[in-house]
């Protein structure tokens, strides 16, 4: 993988980050991350599990070998997707069966999709580095969306408009973790669904959607509609392949989100 663009290799339960992109959480982490070729990061809670060093794998958690999904992650280190090795930018989707099992456990079978008109969204097997978001976190997007976002951002700058990425790709496990933590606090599923999309139904899972903000504006607030940044997006975003997914009175019953834009190829 040396010499290739920075990418996130995605397996069902573990992400493989290139070294140098994650923030150290301790002195031990800092020393390990500084030398890492890859970092194995649990998707559910962001825990750093191990680093791939030139001399071998260094565990960062006890009982690493018991970690669910470890074998698939190690296979991805040893043999990254053939289309990446060949320099081809084709993106494949991860299977949905594991997600469907967990949705069933939450009582969210097909009824939620039927009620909202939303479909389950698969995760890509790899994502492209698209710079950093407002909070200096790495921004991961589908490779086509990453390229389009770069063009969109630069065109806005030429017109004197600053667009800030708030968030891009989010995993199924990340969204499931939100649900599990709120359930543990005693909230019911329907109550959680009033403020959080059901896991698997967010466009962010695809890497094709991102939330956009403007300097000095709070993130993901309807007030973004009144900014020069939004006015520019309204007039220009479609020319770069981006559309606003959830306008007012959208058929999915999702609140108006002027900050949420999705790239659609072709």
Could you tell me if residue 2 is inside a domain?
A: no
72 and 151 belong to one structural domain:
no
126 and 205 belong to one structural domain:
yes
234 and 153 belong to one structural domain:
yes
37 and 162 belong to one structural domain:
no
Cα 148 to Cα 264: distance, rounded to the nearest angstrom: 10
102 and 164 belong to one structural domain:
yes
106 and 137 belong to one structural domain:
yes
22 and 146 belong to one structural domain:
no
Could you tell me if residue 239 is inside a domain?
A: yes
Question: For residue 46, what are the domain limits?
Answer: 7-85
> Sheet containing 48-53: which strands, arranged edge to edge?
56-59, 48-53, 38-42, 14-18, 7-10, 126-132, 138-141
Q: Kind of pairing, strands 38-42 and 260-263?
A: unpaired
63 and 102 belong to one structural domain:
no
134 and 203 belong to one structural domain:
yes
Give the pair of three-digit tokens for residue 222. 């309807």
**Residue scoring higher pLDDT (265 or 73):** 73
Per the structure, the count of domains in the chain is 2
Cα 123 to Cα 12: distance, rounded to the nearest angstrom: 9
Residue 85 has pLDDT above 70, yes or no: no
Residue-wise pLDDT tens digits, 117-161: 999 999 999 999 999 999 999 999 999 999 999 999 999 999 999
Residue 221 has pLDDT above 70, yes or no: yes
pLDDT at 241: 98
The secondary structure of 146-189 as a DSSP string is: HHHHHHHHHHHHHTT---EEEE----HHHHHHHHHHHHHTT--H
pTM score? 0.92
**Residue scoring higher pLDDT (79 or 93):** 93
45 and 126 belong to one structural domain:
no
Could you tell me if residue 91 is inside a domain?
A: no
Cα 209 to Cα 142: distance, rounded to the nearest angstrom: 9
pLDDT at 3: 47
246 and 175 belong to one structural domain:
yes
DSSP, res 41? E
25 and 55 belong to one structural domain:
yes
Domain boundary among 85, 112, 128: 85
Could you tell me if residue 90 is inside a domain?
A: no
């Amino acid at each position: 993988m040396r010499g290739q663009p920075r990418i996130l290799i995605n397996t069902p339960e573990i992400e493989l980050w290139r070294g140098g992109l994650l923030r150290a959480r301790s002195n031990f982490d800092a020393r390990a991350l500084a030398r890492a070729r890859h970092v194995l990061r649990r998707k559910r809670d962001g825990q750093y599990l191990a680093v791939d060093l030139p001399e071998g794998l260094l565990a960062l958690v006890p009982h690493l070998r018991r970690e669910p999904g470890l074998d698939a992650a190690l296979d991805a280190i040893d043999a990254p997707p053939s289309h990446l090795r060949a320099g081809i930018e084709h993106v494949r989707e991860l299977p949905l069966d594991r997600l469907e099992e967990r949705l069933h456990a939450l009582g969210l079978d097909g009824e939620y999709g039927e009620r909202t008109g939303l479909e389950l969204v698969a995760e890509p097997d790899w994502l492209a580095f698209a710079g950093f978001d407002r909070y200096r976190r790495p921004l991961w997007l589908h490779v086509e969306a990453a390229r389009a976002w770069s063009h969109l951002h630069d065109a806005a700058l030429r017109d004197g408009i600053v667009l800030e990425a708030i968030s891009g790709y989010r995993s199924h496990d990340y969204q499931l973790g939100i649900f599990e933590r709120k359930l543990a606090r005693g909230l019911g599923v329907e109550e959680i669904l009033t403020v959080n999309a059901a896991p698997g139904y967010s466009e962010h899972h695809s890497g094709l959607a991102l939330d956009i903000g403007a300097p000095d504006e709070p993130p993901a607030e309807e007030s973004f509609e009144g900014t020069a940044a939004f006015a520019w997006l309204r007039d220009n975003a479609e020319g770069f392949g981006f559309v606003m997914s959830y306008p007012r009175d959208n058929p999915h019953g999702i609140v108006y989100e002027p900050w949420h834009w999705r790239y659609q190829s072709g």
